[in-house]
Structure 1
Amino acid sequence: MNLAIFFDPLPEELVPAPATATALASCLTPFLDTFPDWRTADLALIGLDEWRGSAAGAPAAHGADAVRRRFYHLQKGSGPARLVDLGNLRPGLTLEDTYLRLREIVAALLEHGTVPILLGGSHDLDYGQFLAYETLDRAVSFATVDARVDMAEHDAAPAEEAHLRRMLMHEPNFLFNFAQLAHQQYLAAPEVLAALEKLHFETLRLGEIRSDVRQAEPLLRQADFVSFDVAALRWNDAPAYYPANPFGLTSEEASQLAWYAGHNDQLSSFGLYGYRPDHDPHGLAATTLAIMLWYFVEGYYHRRGETDFSSRRFIRYAVGLPGTPAKLVFYKAKRTEKWWLEVESLADSNLKRIVPCSYQDYLRAAQGDLPNRWILTQALLG
C-alpha cells in the first residue's frame, strides 16, 4: 500500500542535523524527499492538523511540528529507536474523509506490526484511530486520558465533545472494554459517569491517580490503543489548550502514563491530541509532549513479551473463596512483578479472559473478597 499519497513531507529546516550522534534525530528517518520504509520500523510518527471537529477552530501554527522540534533534539533511550516520521497527514475533503483516511493508514501499520503515534489535531481524531481496529476481527479494549468525558448527546455538539459516545455506540460492536482516566468530577456529568458504570467500564478520577499513579497501570495494560488529550494536563505544565484549567495531571504523571502505555505488550497505537501552539508562546507544552513521547518510546523498548501464562516466566496462584466462584487464579510475572487475573464466565465456561490486575486485587481475594475487576470483567463476558 502506498501511504505516501496521504502525507506532506516535512520542511527541511524542521529536521536539523543532530547535535550529537545520540540524539533522536540521528536515528529517526523523516519524510523529506523520500517516503520512509515504515514496514521495517517499530514506530511511526504521524502529524495531524485537522481541527474541523473543534468548536475553537484551527490554531495558526502546526502543533505536531512544534512538538517535533523538541522531540528530535532529545537523546535516544536504551532501545534501538527504529522510528520513522511519515510527515503530516493531508486532511480529507470532509472531516469524515479524514477519519476514514486515518482508519486506512492505522490499519495498514497494524497489519505490519508498526506502532503509529498520532500527534496533533482535535481529540475526535481518535475515532479514525478506533475504526482501524474494526479490521482485526476481534474484540478490542482502549483507554482515554482526558479531563472531560466526551459523550455529549445534543446535535449541535462539536465532534471533539461527542467522539467517545460515537465509539462506544459504534455498530458493529467490536469493543470489549473501555477505561476513562484522569477525568475531573466537576467536569463530568453524573449521568455520563453512571452510564459508564452501567456498561461495566472502569473509570479512574484525577484524584485517584494523584494519590497513586500506579492504579492506572492495569487499565492501560489492558488497552489495545490509548487516546490522550493534552487537556488532561494542568495548564501550568502544558499551556496548550482552551479553556485553561488550573487542575490536571502534572507533566511527571502524564509521562508516567505514557510509559505505562508504551510498556504494554498489547498496545498497538498511541494518540496524543489537542495541542494548540498558539497558547504555548514559550514552548513549555511542546517540550512536555515531546518528553511524553520519549517516555512512550522508551516504554516500548522495555516491553518483555509477557503473554504466555503457561511459561516459566509466571508464577500461578490459586486463591480459594467461600462462595461463587470457589477459586480465583492469578498470575504474577517473575521479571516485572505485574499481576493478571483469570476470569471464567459463570454462564459459559468456554469464555475466559486473563486481564491485568494489581497486587491489591490479589490481596483482596486472599482475604475472601471478590476484586472489583473480576466483577466488571464477568459482566462484560456476559
Structure 2
Amino acid sequence: MDYDFLCPVANELLDEIRNLNSQTIGAQLKVHSEISGIPEIEDVQVAIFGVRENRRSNSGSSAPVFTEIRRSFYSLYPGNWGLRLADLGDIEAGATAEDTYFAVQLLVERLVKEDVIPVILGGSQDLVYAQYRAYDKLDQMVNLVNVDKKFDLGDADKAISNESFVGKIVVDKPYNLFNYTTVGYQTYFNSQEEIELMERLFFEAYRLGGVTSDLSLMEPIFRNANLVSMDLGAIDSASLQSGVYNSPNGFNGREICALARYAGISDKVSSFGIYEYQRELGSLANMLVAQIVWYFIEGVNYRSNENTISAKKEFIKYQVPIDDEILVFFKSPRSGRWWIEIPFLSTVNTKLKRHTLLPCSEEDYIEACNQVIPERWYKAKRKNEV
C-alpha cells in the first residue's frame, strides 16, 4: 500500500509497544512505522488512521495530535476477536483543506473497495464530507448516521465548515445520499429552520432524551447505515472531564460506547469516523475515545452477515394489510432482527436496489398489526417517490 501522504506513528509509541503485554492490542496490530513503512492490508479487517485537519472548525482550535488516543487504545486488551487490525498513521493537513479532503477520500475509497473498514480519528467534522465523497465511485446510494447534538445542515451557499457539511453533502453532485439521520440532537442547539428542513427532506432525527430512554431502538438505525460519524460534542462534559466541551447534557460513556457497538455490528457500515477531537482533551477523554473504537471493533467482530442473498432466503415473511397498503416484514431466524420492505420504483432511482429492505424493530411490526404505519417506512417510501 503506497500513500505518501500518510505519516507514521510516533517513534515514542513504537518504543512503548515493545514493553506492552503481548496480549494487548498494541502488541498485536500492524503499525505504520518509519522503518517498516505502511503495512499491507490484504488480511486486515479494520484499519485506523488519524486526520490532522481542523482549519474549517468554527472553534478555532489547533490541529489535533492522536498520540494519547493511541497510547490508551494500544494498552487495551482485545475481546475474543478473530479480526486483524492495522494502524496506518496520520494524514497530515494538506496545503488546503480541500487537499486533505482529497487524501481522506482516496484512502477511504481504497479501503472500502478492499473490504477493510476504516476507523477515522478526525479533527473538525467537515471531514465527514470527504468520508462521504469516497462513495462516489462505488455505484450505490448511501445512508449517513451522525451521532451529534446538531444537524450540521448550515447554509449550503457558504463555505463548508464543521457545522455546515451536511448541507454541502445534500446539494453537491454527484447525489449519493439517500438518507441522513441525526442521533441524539438537542433542540436548543438547532434552529427551527433546520428542524423544519430535516422534516421537508424526510431525514430522520432522534432527540437525546428519546434515545437514552431506550438505546436498543437505535440498533435498526445503525443497521441501515453505510457510514457513521460521531461528534465528541455529543458527549456530556462530565464524561469527558474537560473544559473543551461545556454542555451538561449529552451521552455518557456507556451510552456512546453502546452506540459505537451498534454501528460495528451493522453488516452495512463500511466506514466509521470520530470527529471534533482536540489536543486539549485530557486523559479521561482519550481513554473514552479509545474505548469507543474498541466497542466499534467488538461489534464488527460479532456481525451476523445477514446482508447476503443466502441469508435473506432464510427470512420469515409477514404481510400486514393497512388501509390500501400491504406492509411486508421479514424476520431473521438467526438473529431475531426485523426488516420492512420499501416499494422499489425502478423508474426513479436505479441505485436503490440495495435499499429495498429497511431495518426495523419488532415494535414496528406490532404497531403495524395495530394499524399504525411506521414513520421510517413512510419517509423512506416518500424519498423513493420524490
Report what 1:319 is aligned to.
319
Report what 1:96 is aligned to.
98
Q: Distance in 1 between matches of 2:156 and 2:203?
A: 23
Deviations 1:83-136 (A, max 9, x none): 110101122110011111111111111111111110031111111101101110
Q: Distance in 2 between matches of 1:375 and 1:234?
A: 33
Shift of 1:347: 9.2
- Structure 1: 5+ residue runs without aligned partners? none
Report what 1:168 is aligned to.
170
Q: Distance in 2 between matches of 1:29 and 1:329?
A: 45
Matched, 1:190 2:192: yes
Structure 2 SS opposite 1:236: helix
Which residues of 2 match residues 349-368 of structure 1 at below 5 A?
353-368=356-371
Report what 1:334 is aligned to.
333
Amino acid in the other structure paired with 2:292: M
Shift of 1:160: 0.7
Give the direction of change, closer, same or farther, for the CA distance of 1:47–1:311 in structure 2 (3 Å limit). closer
Deviations 1:280-300 (A, max 9, x none): 2xx111111101100000100
The answer as to whether partners of 1:231 and 1:241 remain within 8 angstroms in 2 is no
Q: Distance in 1 between matches of 2:345 and 2:134?
A: 32
Shift of 1:178: 1.3
Report what 1:23 is aligned to.
24
Report what 1:290 is aligned to.
290
The answer as to whether partners of 1:55 and 1:158 remain within 8 angstroms in 2 is no
The answer as to whether partners of 2:52 and 2:63 remain within 8 angstroms in 1 is no
Shift of 1:21: 2.3
The answer as to whether partners of 1:313 and 1:335 remain within 8 angstroms in 2 is no
TM-score by length of structure 2 reads 0.92
Report what 1:137 is aligned to.
139
Report what 1:372 is aligned to.
375
The answer as to whether partners of 1:48 and 1:120 remain within 8 angstroms in 2 is yes
> How many percent of aligned residue pairs carry the same amino acid?
33
The answer as to whether partners of 1:222 and 1:356 remain within 8 angstroms in 2 is yes
Structure 1 SS opposite 2:330: strand
Structure 2 residue corresponding to 1:124, chosen from 119, 126, 136:
126
Give the direction of change, closer, same or farther, for the CA distance of 1:156–1:267 in structure 2 (3 Å limit). closer
Amino acid in the other structure paired with 1:330: F
The answer as to whether partners of 1:224 and 1:268 remain within 8 angstroms in 2 is yes
Structure 2 residue corresponding to 1:205, chosen from 201, 204, 207:
207
Q: Distance in 1 between matches of 2:322 and 2:120?
A: 48
Amino acid in the other structure paired with 2:235: L
The answer as to whether partners of 1:103 and 1:129 remain within 8 angstroms in 2 is yes
After superposing the two structures, state which structure 1 stretch, 346-355 or 289-298, moved more.
Answer: 346-355
Q: Distance in 2 between matches of 1:230 and 1:220?
A: 18
- CA RMSD in angstroms comes to 2.2
Which residues of 2 match residues 70-81 of structure 1 at below 5 A?
70-81=72-83
Shift of 1:312: 7.4
- Structure 2: 5+ residue runs without aligned partners? none
TM-score by length of structure 1 reads 0.93
Give the direction of change, closer, same or farther, for the CA distance of 1:24–1:251 in structure 2 (3 Å limit). same
Structure 2 SS opposite 1:44: strand
Q: Distance in 1 between matches of 2:300 and 2:183?
A: 20
Deviations 1:161-198 (A, max 9, x none): 11111112221211111111111011111111111111
Q: Distance in 1 between matches of 2:373 and 2:129?
A: 34
Give the direction of change, closer, same or farther, for the CA distance of 1:321–1:67 in structure 2 (3 Å limit). same
After superposing the two structures, state which structure 1 stretch, 302-311 or 354-363, moved more.
Answer: 302-311
Report what 1:46 is aligned to.
49
The answer as to whether partners of 1:44 and 1:85 remain within 8 angstroms in 2 is yes
Q: Distance in 2 between matches of 1:324 and 1:296?
A: 41
Structure 1 residue corresponding to 2:252, chosen from 230, 237, 250:
250
Q: Distance in 2 between matches of 1:180 and 1:331?
A: 25
Deviations 1:183-219 (A, max 9, x none): 1011111111111111111111111111111121111
Report what 1:36 is aligned to.
39
Give the direction of change, closer, same or farther, for the CA distance of 1:143–1:54 in structure 2 (3 Å limit). same
Shift of 1:60: 7.0
Shift of 1:30: 0.8
Shift of 1:40: 2.5
Amino acid in the other structure paired with 2:338: W
Give the direction of change, closer, same or farther, for the CA distance of 1:117–1:346 in structure 2 (3 Å limit). closer
After superposing the two structures, state which structure 1 stretch, 261-270 or 171-180, moved more.
Answer: 171-180
Aligned length: 377
Q: Distance in 2 between matches of 1:322 and 1:88?
A: 53
Q: Distance in 2 between matches of 1:317 and 1:291?
A: 38
